[in-house]
Amino acid sequence: MITISAMKWAPPFAAGSVRDYRARWILNEVGWPYRVHLVDAPELAGETYAEQQPFGQVPYMEEDGRPTLFETGAIVIDVATRADKLIPADDAERSSVLCWVIAALNSLEPALMNVAEVEFFIDDKQQREARRPSVVAFATKRLGQLDAALGERTWLVGDTFTIADLMVASVLRLADMQKMIKQLPRLVAYRERCLARPAYRQAVADQRATIAEHQQSDMRYGETEQ
């Protein structure tokens, strides 16, 4: 049985967006059952958890007889490859899909996360206002480049939805929160096509349900691992 780790609780703005939903999404797409291991703050910071996830984040994916994976890109690629779903059989197209998975994580997500950091994690108003123009400009540039690369195609690679689309759409959720793609109707339509998939909707609903069942106190901030 596959186990993925997930947070017991997250702030309202993050509910449905914590990255374990990516692992849930791909597992739902291929139809593989899994269970969820809920973690709190002391466990995330502890040595035992670091044996599975050296950076103290979620998710990891654990499975008997296989190495534990701890990056969502690796999890998505691994599951799709083993299931032979959402990844092309053609070598050239498969290489293009993997390129887009990496681009989502390396070229798109950092730019959009810089904007999210300004909006949600910098308390000082003066610092926010000073940093916002540069990070928004760079993120906007990246989105324009993605829009140009997508063009009029339905999907990024080939004629069907692949893990390239899964990862890029997951990153575009950050732009959606900041309303940064509303001037790019092709990207808006593309994102909506991807996020309309039942596997995605179930992944987010399951994560939200778990978080709703817990409170901030369940994270036990300030305590040490038992």
- DSSP track, 155-174: SSSTTS--HHHHHHHHHHHH
Fill in the DSSP letter of residue 32: -
Kindly state the tokens that stand for 199.
């596997």
Residues 44/56, Cβ–Cβ less than 8 Å: yes
H-state helical runs in the chain: 20-30, 41-45, 47-50, 72-83, 91-103, 109-120, 125-150, 163-177, 185-195, 198-212
> What is the rounded CA–CA span in Å between residue 177 and residue 158?
28
Task: For residue 97, give the nearest of 3, 162, 13, 39 by alpha carbon.
Answer: 162
Kindly state the tokens that stand for 104.
């989502």
Q: Which domains are present in the chain?
A: 2-85+200-217 (3.40.30.10), 91-197 (1.20.1050.10)
> Exposed e or buried b for every residue in 19-50, given b needs 16+ CB within 10 A?
bbbbbbbbbbbeeeebebbbbbbbbbebeebe
pLDDT in tens, the chain (226 residues): 999 999 999 998 889 999 999 999 999 999 999 999 999 999 999 999 999 999 999 999 999 999 999 999 999 999 999 999 999 999 999 999 999 999 999 999 999 999 988 888 888 888 888 888 899 999 999 999 999 999 999 999 999 999 999 999 999 998 876 678 989 999 999 999 999 999 999 999 999 999 999 999 999 987 755 4
